[in-house]
Amino acid sequence: MNAIVSVEHIVTVDHVVKRFGKTRVLEDVSFALPERGVSVLLGANGEGKSTLLRLLLGLLKADAGELRVLGLDPIRDGRALRTEVAYVPDQPDNPAWMTPRELFRFLRPQYPRWNQERAERLAKDWEVPLERTFKQLSRGQAARALLAAALAQSPRLLLLDECFAGLDPLARRDLLGGFLAELAEHEVATLLVTHDLDVAARVAERVLVLAGGRITTQGSVAEVLQTDEEAARLSTRMLGLLERAQDEKEEAAA
């Protein structure tokens, strides 16, 4: 098994193809992610965003091309890789009878850098009912519980699959604020998959657009906004949201 090494790009995807039967979901996907910052993968439902995350986790195997995460092959080195990468699905994948406290207890021995104090602090700050089962939690409460568990793993890479979807605007705003504060303090590289333009605009430092099985647009927010050719591929609404979010960040920094 290869050792985890320091790499310039925490993720590299090179001409990746993925088929399900005769359906080619990912046609020719290539991109690289830096070691820090929030990258947002945008795309409509059914474009293969979740499939791409499962490839990065080693849960699926590509039919062609090459993927490297933390310098490792997700298939060959999947077990080692998954101790360094935290994943939050769009729906809880743990048993519905489990409580957040039981989830923390279950995960703790599996991650060498598990931070129990961080898990409990985030649960308290985000008002997660630790003793209720996931079946009893609202979607927002479940999302906060899973995100707290992911951050408590002290990961080098965080993969998020639509985990902010379906929340009411106030709950989403509060959770995004707390999430960004944690990332700023601990500098976790993050890839957020979403089709929600408002969420993307609020958190993105880098934007990738998946359409037709390919990455059609990618770059920093500033690059996407300043490059006419690339900007033309994004909707007017997306550009407006990105510009507004960029202005808000600049005003906050001032």
| Regions of the chain with pLDDT less than 70 | 1-7, 222, 224-254
pLDDT in the model for residue 251: 60
Contact 87, 150 (CB under 8 A): yes
Contact 30, 13 (CB under 8 A): yes
Rounded to 5 degrees, φ, ψ at 68 are -135, 130
Domain region containing 162: 36-45+84-253
pLDDT in the model for residue 7: 55
Q: Is residue 140 part of a domain?
A: yes
- Give pLDDT tens digits for 194-239: 877 778 778 888 888 888 889 988 887 767 666 545 444 555 555 5
CATH number of the domain enclosing 212: 3.40.50.300
pLDDT in the model for residue 3: 41
Domain count for the chain: 1
pLDDT in the model for residue 33: 93
Q: Is residue 238 part of a domain?
A: yes
Q: Say how far apart CA 154 and CA 140 lie, in whole Å.
A: 22
Cβ neighbours for 184, distance < 8 A, ≥ 6 positions apart? none
Query: The tokens of 35 are what?
Result: 């070691």
pLDDT in the model for residue 101: 96
Q: Is residue 102 part of a domain?
A: yes
Q: Is residue 105 part of a domain?
A: yes
Torsion over CA: 157, 162, 167, 170 (sign): positive
Q: Is residue 64 part of a domain?
A: no
Query: Considering the entire predicted model, what is its pTM?
Result: 0.84
Contact 140, 175 (CB under 8 A): yes
pLDDT in the model for residue 92: 83
Q: Is residue 55 part of a domain?
A: no
Q: Say how far apart CA 252 and CA 254 lie, in whole Å.
A: 5
pLDDT in the model for residue 1: 39
